[in-house]
Amino acid sequence: MKDINKKLVKFFSAMADETRIKIIISISKSPKTVNDIHKNSDKTLTLSAISHQLKLLENSDIVKYEKKGRERYYSLSGDFCWCMLKDAIKHFNKRK
């Protein structure tokens, strides 16, 4: 049970960041490279910062990547994270 608790803490800690939530939303529909994520962002983050955030999300089992040539394509590692985030968005939109 302690291992599960540690994984849950790691997961929710990773989710508790606006930048990482934006990245999760960005890759929710289709896999994207760091450059793709940067192009679709508000440009306040550097490519290096996006890569760093993706590494944190990867270490928390939220995202995975597939290497194609020299590029890494990042996607969600499962539906759970996106389903939970969608439900939270609906919940807070109702409370406006």
CATH of the domain at 53: 1.10.10.10
Report the number of distinct structural domains present in the chain.
Answer: 1
Residues 6+ apart with CB under 8 A from 12: none
User: 84: domain range?
Assistant: 2-94
Main-chain dihedrals φ then ψ at residue 31, nearest 5 degrees? -60, 145
CA atoms within 13 A on the CB side of 82: 14
Tens-of-pLDDT digits for all 96 residues of the chain? 778 888 888 888 999 999 999 999 999 999 999 999 999 888 888 999 999 999 999 999 999 999 999 999 999 998 888 888 888 888 988 876
